[in-house]
């Protein structure tokens, strides 16, 4: 397993593979790897001759300084996990080398559209930071395919929009959300939950399941379902930011004829902000 932090060395190694006619699958992460990340790596291994994983906590996508400082960093543990998965390259750039102009002076990529609603509205600039880091990573690695989890559903859509806008040659593959047995979506932030909060956390999944069941039973009062779920989360100790039933393709409020829908939830539990979604 190659571990590189130098951008030129990383680009040269990937170029060598491409010159040999080999394909590259890429899994970008911010570290603190869990089974969800590892499921993406397994998928990547089935899609290309070489697998590259990046571990980089991107400061540009944090609009809360405390969140950035408290984001879990477990690099040695991550290396140990990756060594069991025959990963060809782990790319771990330093912030000052990745953003040589200085992180405060980076010309961010602004895609507009879906980057301004839901997560984009709650975290202004977040998706600009995501698009900027992913574009630079793609430029360095030039992968044939990149694998992302559907747990960050809106982010996945933003990445697809990025690829389309810049005519990038990378195929984007989304993988289903990896969950604990009680329904909690795996997230690096879960390790910061207290024992009591961890017991409450699956309520988000239960509320989404309740919405799905109601719609399958014929309910058309989507606003009422959103409001009920939000109130139930509040009663359970959460501070809901949004419960939104949207068109899966556009994230706009669904038309009456739309059948492909998704419910998206963001809520704080103590100091931890959790997001999740469920296709309906």
CA 148 – CA 156 distance, rounded (Å): 7
Which residues, in sequence order, are bridge partners of residue 3? Answer: 90
H or E stretch covering 198 = helix 195-200
Report helix, strand or coil for 218: coil
CA 192 vs CA 73, 108, 152, 160, 272: distances in Å: 12, 30, 19, 30, 7
Catalytic residue among 34, 37, 50, 126: 37
Centre a 10 Å sphere on the Cβ of residue 80 and count the other Cβ atoms it contains.
11
| 50 catalytically annotated | no
Residue 40 · residue 66 · CB < 8 Å: no
C-alpha to C-alpha distances, 249 to 21, 46, 79, 220, nearest whole angstrom: 34, 26, 36, 19
Phi, psi of 4 (to 5 degrees): -130, 140
Rounded CA separation 118/110 (Å): 16
- Strands 171-175, 145-149: pairing kind: parallel
Residues noted as catalytic? 37
């Amino acid at each position: 397993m190659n571990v590189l932090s130098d951008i030129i060395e990383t680009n040269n190694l990937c170029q060598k593979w491409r010159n040999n006619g080999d394909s590259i699958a890429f899994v970008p992460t911010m570290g603190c790897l869990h089974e969800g990340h590892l499921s993406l790596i397994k998928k990547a291994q089935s899609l290309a001759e070489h697998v590259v994983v990046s571990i980089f906590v991107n400061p540009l996508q944090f609009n809360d300084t405390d969140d950035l400082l408290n984001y879990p960093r477990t690099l040695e543990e991550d290396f140990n996990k990756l060594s069991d998965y025959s990963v060809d390259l782990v790319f771990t750039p330093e912030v000052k080398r990745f953003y040589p102009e200085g992180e405060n002076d980076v010309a961010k990529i602004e895609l507009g559209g879906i980057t301004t609603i839901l997560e984009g509205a709650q975290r202004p600039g977040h998706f600009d930071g995501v698009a900027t880091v992913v574009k630079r990573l793609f430029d360095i690695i030039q992968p044939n395919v990149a694998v992302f989890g559907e747990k960050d559903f809106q982010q996945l859509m933003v990445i697809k929009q990025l690829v389309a806008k810049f005519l990038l040659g990378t195929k984007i593959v989304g993988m289903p959300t990896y969950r604990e047995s009680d329904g909690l979506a795996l997230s690096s932030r879960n390790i910061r939950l207290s024992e009591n909060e961890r017991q409450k956390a699956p309520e988000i999944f239960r509320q989404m399941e309740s919405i799905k069941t109601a719609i399958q039973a014929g309910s058309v009062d989507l606003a009422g379902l959103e409001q009920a779920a939000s109130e139930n989360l509040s009663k359970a100790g959460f501070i809901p930011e949004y419960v939104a039933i949207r068109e899966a393709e556009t994230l706009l409020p669904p038309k009456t004829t739309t059948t492909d829908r998704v419910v998206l939830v963001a809520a704080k539990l103590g100091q931890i902000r959790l997001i999740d979604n469920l296709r309906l």
